[in-house]
Amino acid sequence: MKKRLLIVCGLVLSMYQASAQTYEIKSPDGRIQIKINNSDKISWSASLNGNLIIENAEAGMDFSASTDFGINPKVKNHTIKSVSENIHAVISHKDSDIKDQYTELSITYQGNYKLNFRAYNDGAAYQFIDEAKAKREVISEKVSFTFPKGSRSLFPQEESMYSHNERLYIDKALPEIASKDFCSLPVLFTTDKAKVLFTETALIDYPGLFLKGNGNTTLDAIFPKYVLEAVDKNGNSDRVQTIKKEADYIAKASGARAYPWRVFMISDDDRTFVESNLAYQLAKPNVLKNTDWIKPGKVAWDWYNANNIFGVDFKAGLNTETYKYFIDFASKNKIEYVILDEGWTKSTTQILDFNPDIDVKELIRYGKEKGVGIILWVLWKPLDANLLQILETYKSWGAKGIKIDYMQRNDQYMVNSYEQIARECAKLEMLVDFHGAFKPSGLERMYPNVMNYEGVRGNENNKWSDEITPEHTVTIPFIRMAAGPMDFTPGSMINKEPKNFSISFTRPMTLGTRAHQVAMYVVYEAPLQMMCESPSIYYKEQETVDYITQIPTVWDETKVLHGSVGNYIVVARKKADKWFIGGMTDSDARELPIDLSFLGDGSFSMEAYADGSNVDTYAQDYKIDTLKVDKNSKITAKMASGGGWSAIITKN
């Protein structure tokens, strides 16, 4: 009896093994290899140069009705193709023309669904496609992956899914990430042979993904539940809600649709994570017919400096005179926009009328006369309650865009709200800056009037903490910025070495040197790039302002010359016929060689902004040198502790 049972089990095992179907694709350059296995589930692995980087990963979706994805999957057919196309970016965060080159495996399963897998030279991605027409709920999605032993993460740990997603990156061995620990995206993992950055894009009508640990080297996705009822916190908050009731599912689904791309940037060169366009390439294409009205640029910003201007014959503050001073400053320096941040409305919930001390219509008229556009800050909660009337009113006044704050959620309703805001603003030809926001997830390609997202622990934190260190500022380009544009809000002119730094809400200062802040204008991608300092201080630092205002906010081409996560970065970017270089270092002083071979033939003038000789004791010390260079010139970026170096290169 036992012998006969063993034979039957052996036959079942043989049949099971025979039924498993395995596919393999490689990146165009052959370095990245993806293996996909279909047995009782869908699993996959990834290798770089023959080294296993993601040992085992699983993909699937659980629905309330009809077919679940990845449960005993039955393959109907599959195709493998090579693609090489060009994408022209409407708003070019790093490259105006992007080579979209990949190998794609598309598997069609019984049950009316597909799984598309792509292998790129800089990573891999997959996406489920639902071809059914059924209305149902998504109960959960299986996104799980296991790294080799010894792997670590720079983990943007969250305390709650109700979050601005403004995190520090905690260096943890993966077994130290317990089952109660979870993070927002993007997140970086380090193995012995390579690094992996995980994020998502084409996030439409679906909740954002968080990632939790298990006390081992496996991590799993978790999602915010579908919100059934949200109420004001303590019954009267203008911006913070309590999620009072949630469903037992994460999303509602109706009919055929594509789900978000799960994106894995894979490289043994840290520079890849800054150069990669994967999140943009995989996003849904632009849906706007006319984009000529979308104008990136710099913004004179009021909230960071608490409207503290001086040397004037009126009382500074939330009033018309102060904002005319901001507009005059912007106009004199060819800064495209001024933001009216919190305080311009009658109250934070009465946002169709303005503070009696601020004549918004007059400011918009005055700005137009001076060639400066006005962007209006609003809280998400009152905006969501009356979106169309509010936007149409702001447009009728002549506002160029809105900055929305305090979303703090990542559930399906909130993701849909982002898209609705982008769509309605596009109809009115208005720009959008998402503050208090989750990371970029592709909407900025679909609606290029979406200029920026915060979702980063940025300069404003200097008002209440000492956490914005040079180590942090040279970490975020490799992680947070890999997902898309980043509203860090650089431009501080009050720069301090650590022993002289202090926290001040109304007179904030930054750790690191002046040259470190200036270099951010090249290193950090933000089509609407803030100038956070008080105009009165900028007037005293006109030489630095004149340098910064030469730097564009969108780019034709990007090259990362040096890069090491959390240590240093040097980026070269081209706009039209000029090159711009930005370098930043952590607390270690560095000298990095600058290879100018990308310049091509001819002679060039280089204006370099560098740390001054006494920057170790006075962080605001800098020097500007102008010299002749060509593609063979030997240049060194010498950076002090917490320092920076930048250059503007013009052909003679």
Model pLDDT, residue 18: 38
Judged by DSSP in three states, 585 sits in strand
The token pair that represents 96 in the structure block = 């105006």
Torsion of CA 554, 559, 561, 562, to 10 degrees: 70
Q: Are 125 and 261 in contact (CB under 8 A)?
A: yes
Q: What domains does the chain contain, in order, with CATH numbers?
A: 18-281 (2.70.98.10)
Beta bridge partner(s), residue 570: 562, 583
What is the DSSP code (8-state) at residue 71?
A: B
Active-site position among 181, 302, 405, 533: 405
pLDDT the model gives residue 236: 82
pLDDT tens column, 152-179: 999 999 999 999 999 999 999 999 999 9
> Residue 498: helix, strand or coil by DSSP?
helix
What are the start-end ranges of the H helices in 508-584?
514-523, 535-540, 542-548
* Cα(233)–Cα(561) distance, integer angstroms: 48
Amino acid (1-letter code) at residue 318? L
Cβ 301 vs Cβ 341: under 8 Å: yes
* 1: number of Cβ within 10 Å: 5
Omega of the bond leading into 156 within 30 degrees of 0 (cis): no
Strand-pair partners of 42: 38, 59
DSSP conformational letter for 60: E
Rounded CA-CA distance 346/354 in Å is: 4
SS3 557: strand
Q: Exactly one of 130, 460, 525, 533 is catalytic; which is it?
A: 460
Q: Read off the pTM.
A: 0.96
Q: Cα–Cα distance between 352 and 93 in angstroms, integer?
A: 33
Task: Give the per-residue pLDDT at 361.
Answer: 98
Active site residue 497: no
Cis peptide before 356 (omega within 30 of 0): no
Q: What CA–CA distance (Å, rounded) separates 270 from 49?
A: 16
**Across 268-349, where does the E strand assignment appear?**
297-300, 337-340
* Residue 489 CA neighbour count, 13 Å, CB half: 28
Residues of the chain with pLDDT under 50: 1-19
* The predicted structure's pLDDT at residue 11: 31
Q: Angle at the Cα of 14 (from 11 to 18), degrees rounded to 5? A: 140
Look up 460 and say whether it is catalytic: yes
82 secondary structure, DSSP code:
E
Query: How many angstroms separate the CA atoms of 133 and 135, rounded?
Result: 7
What does DSSP assign to residue 269? S
| Burial of 55 per CB tally in 10 Å (0-12, 13-18, 19+) | middle
Backbone angles phi, psi at 493, to 5 degrees: -105, -5
Tell me the two tokens of residue 575. Answer: 């706009």
Break the chain down into helix, strand, coil percent, rounded to 5.
Answer: 20, 40, 40
Supply the pLDDT for residue 428: 98
Q: Which of 634, 558, 637 is nearest to 99 (CA)?
A: 558
Which residues are within 8 A (CB) of 427 and not within 5 positions of it... i.e. 6 or more apart? none
* Contacting residues for 135 by C-beta, under 8 A, at least 6 apart: 252, 253, 254, 255
Residue found under tokens 């090491």: 564
**Pair of tokens at residue 270:** 């840290």
pLDDT of residue 12: 32
Pairwise CA distance, residues 175 & 417, whole Å = 37
The answer to whether 34 touches 25, Cβ cutoff 8 Å, is yes
Query: pLDDT, tens digit, for every residue of 278-292?
Result: 999 999 999 999 999
